[in-house]
Structure 1
Amino acid sequence: MTEIIGFVGMSHSPFATLLPPGAEGEPGTHFLADARLVATAVSELRPDAVVVIGPDHFHANFYDQMPPFVLGVEEAVGFGDFGSTAGPLPVASRLGWAIRDGLDDAGFDVSLSYALTVDHGVVQSYEMSTGGLEVPMVPLVLNTAAPPLPSLARCVALGEALGTAIRRAPDAGRVLIVASGGLSHWLPSNDPRDPSVVGDRRASLIHGREDARAFAAVREPRVRAMAGNPDAPVNADWDRWFLRQLHTLDLDPIVALGHDKLEEEAGSGGHEVRTWLVGHAAAGLPLVWDSYEPVPEWITGMGIGTTFPVPA
């Protein structure tokens, strides 16, 4: 028997590990405290497996081959970028294969990986929401950073198919769905068609697979330099609207935004909320609890939402 026991949507940021609050009341304090509360609530749910939906930030996927969706079924390894956990992660392989087959039956030809590299976009929220690395995972990576992206409607459809596939999986037990990404944040363009993306940077987006470590070593200092700015753009009003919408089962108002309006409201990094749409549609449950802290110093609106109560 397999049961979906809940959904957690959680923002991630490199600076949650690189620039944590040093004292009560500093930026990020509220988010990290509530993330710990979520981990406690998840431990009480006793999941047997976690399906983690998150993006890649050009650590595994590049424009030489850029799949919209990649499913890991055997091995998953944390890249270890920005202080995130590196090394092998436990994988619920049998559930992964059942998901692959179920998505195929639903008409989703997701790319398949026997050895998937995942970066902080998967690892951070997986670790924070479960309180560690003990619960076996099935990683599903969405392309949210490399235009053209899968449409919002396609992500909802994927989520619905994912939910069906999980529920039909044989004897996977109690499955938690975790989505990692967003909320609003503005990042430099990663589109090779953009006239501002030129030279070595453009080449690395296309050919970075040849030496992903070297590419990351060049990129990380640029990202780190964005931290600590209290005036970095964050759209808290939109973020709160998005969370309120997920307290219902009606995703149409979000889908109706389309790519361009979503980017206008939530920034290029806001496209990561596609992971939330997939997870929310898969669970088929409304949020009952949420938490939000705008943290411009982390360049991100940091939100959490769950379909189960989170006691204070």
Structure 2
Amino acid sequence: MSLALVTMSHSPLLEFNDPPAEVKAEVDAAFAQARSFVQDYDPTLVVAFAPDHYNGFFHDLMPPFCIGFEALGVGDYGTAEGPLDVPAELAERLAQHVIDRDLDVAISRRMEIDHGAVQPLEILLGGIDTVPTVPVFVNGVAKPFTSMRRVRLLGEAVGSFLATLDERVLVIGSGGLSHDPPVPQWATADAPARKLLLDGRHPTAAARDARQQRVIEAGRAFAAGTATMRDLNPEWDRALMKTLASGDLTAIDTMDPEKMAADAGNSAHEVRTWVAAFAALGAAGRYAVDTRYYRPIREYIAGFGVMTARTV
């Protein structure tokens, strides 16, 4: 048994909006470094903590956590569409293990996942079905939010299960860091937006394209300084990355959801995937961070970070 980790920002704008050439080269280098880390580790199993952006999970039923026994990429923003290679029996045992530790986790035998889960699999592994993968959804977009302590406990429960396996397990945390893209909020959404938030599954190609184009244009306006989105918060991002690297995650327990949004944007809640991933790694033993990259990138509407780590 061994565990390794990659946490990384994702962005639907990676293939649509280009930052300055030197910034893009930095991001490409960080991804290449993480890819090399994964190739050297040669995982036999992946557990991917990821959020959703109202492509698979909606307000008709929004669990704080969900483990997929089967999963399908929806193909948004040009990411892969189709089934993941999910080891269903192992996913079922993982869910039971988590539930036995008094964490009520939902399960799905038809989980639909978007770029938030798919993009890291494509970047790090070359596809969504190259390594057996168990997807774990962590709500990072819809109130009410469970406590950060509960997120840490979820990660620890998952990690304690993974530590019993005769596998080389790669844990992925996908999302964040600080960012506030134009995702509708239920409290302020108009009737058409609420319809999408309630159940916007399987939109027409034209509807998906229109929605995606709005985000692409918002990224360009943000980069140009003409958008009204909350700014990125590099200080907040770097402080969180430092805490995660320290191995002591207890300080995260007191992070307040409202303050997180105020300080780092409504979608900063995606860092819950990073917390769960690092907690899973820590449950398997002491760990050390191998590589760390960070830069605020307005073209991607993201405080953009990549970290790799492994148990020691």
TM-score (structure 2 length as normaliser): 0.89
Deviation at 1:213, TM superposition (A): 4.3
CA distance in 2 between counterparts of 1:139 and 1:61 reads 13
2:301 is aligned to 299
Task: Give the match's secondary structure for 1:226.
Answer: helix
Distance 1:33 1:213, change over 3 A: farther
Q: 1:185 aligns with which of 176, 179, 182?
A: 179
Question: How is 1:5-20 mapped onto 2 (pairs within 5 angstroms)?
Answer: 5-20=3-18
- Provide Cα deviations, 1:214-257, integer angstroms capped at 9, x if missing partner: 76444222212212232462111211111111111222333322
Runs of 4+ off more than 6 Å: none
- Provide Cα deviations, 1:118-147, integer angstroms capped at 9, x if missing partner: 100000112222343411110001111111
1:159 is aligned to 155
Deviation at 1:31, TM superposition (A): 1.6
CA distance in 2 between counterparts of 1:72 and 1:59 reads 15
Residue 110 (1) aligns with residue 108 (2): no
Native 8 Å contact 1:247 1:288 kept in 2: no
Task: Give the match's secondary structure for 1:6.
Answer: strand
CA distance in 1 between counterparts of 2:302 and 2:250 reads 24
Distance 1:44 1:252, change over 3 A: same
Native 8 Å contact 1:98 1:166 kept in 2: no
Native 8 Å contact 1:189 1:197 kept in 2: no
CA distance in 2 between counterparts of 1:269 and 1:4 reads 31
- Provide Cα deviations, 1:68-126, integer angstroms capped at 9, x if missing partner: 111111x3211111121212222232321221121121122311111211100000112
Deviation at 1:197, TM superposition (A): 0.9
Deviation at 1:43, TM superposition (A): 0.7
Native 8 Å contact 1:59 1:212 kept in 2: no
Task: Give the match's secondary structure for 1:16.
Answer: coil
Paired-residue identity, %: 35
Native 8 Å contact 2:8 2:306 kept in 1: yes
Question: How is 1:123-272 mapped onto 2 (pairs within 5 angstroms)?
Answer: 123-133=118-128, 134-169=130-165, 171=166, 173-188=167-182, 190-192=184-186, 194=187, 196-209=188-201, 211-213=202-204, 216-228=208-220, 229-230=222-223, 231=225, 233-272=231-270
Structure 2 unaligned residues grouped into runs of 5+: none
Native 8 Å contact 1:161 1:282 kept in 2: yes
Deviation at 1:286, TM superposition (A): 4.5
Native 8 Å contact 1:51 1:177 kept in 2: yes
- Provide Cα deviations, 1:237-291, integer angstroms capped at 9, x if missing partner: 2111111111112223333221122112211111100000100001103434211
2:80 is aligned to 85
CA distance in 1 between counterparts of 2:18 and 2:310 reads 27
Residue 289 (1) aligns with residue 306 (2): no
CA distance in 1 between counterparts of 2:170 and 2:2 reads 6
Q: Which moved more, 1:248-257 or 1:297-306?
A: 248-257
CA distance in 2 between counterparts of 1:77 and 1:37 reads 27
Q: Which moved more, 1:211-220 or 1:64-73?
A: 211-220
Native 8 Å contact 2:182 2:215 kept in 1: no
Native 8 Å contact 1:17 1:84 kept in 2: no
Question: How is 1:36-75 mapped onto 2 (pairs within 5 angstroms)?
Answer: 36-73=32-69, 75=70
Native 8 Å contact 2:182 2:218 kept in 1: no
Letter of the 2:260 partner, please give it: L
CA distance in 1 between counterparts of 2:204 and 2:95 reads 29
2:89 is aligned to 94
Task: Give the match's secondary structure for 1:225.
Answer: helix
TM-score (structure 1 length as normaliser): 0.89
CA distance in 1 between counterparts of 2:252 and 2:298 reads 23
Deviation at 1:162, TM superposition (A): 0.7
Deviation at 1:306, TM superposition (A): 1.2
CA distance in 1 between counterparts of 2:87 and 2:216 reads 33
Native 8 Å contact 1:5 1:45 kept in 2: no
Distance 1:130 1:40, change over 3 A: same
Structure 1 unaligned residues grouped into runs of 5+: none
Aligned length: 299
Distance 1:176 1:302, change over 3 A: same
Task: Give the match's secondary structure for 1:197.
Answer: coil
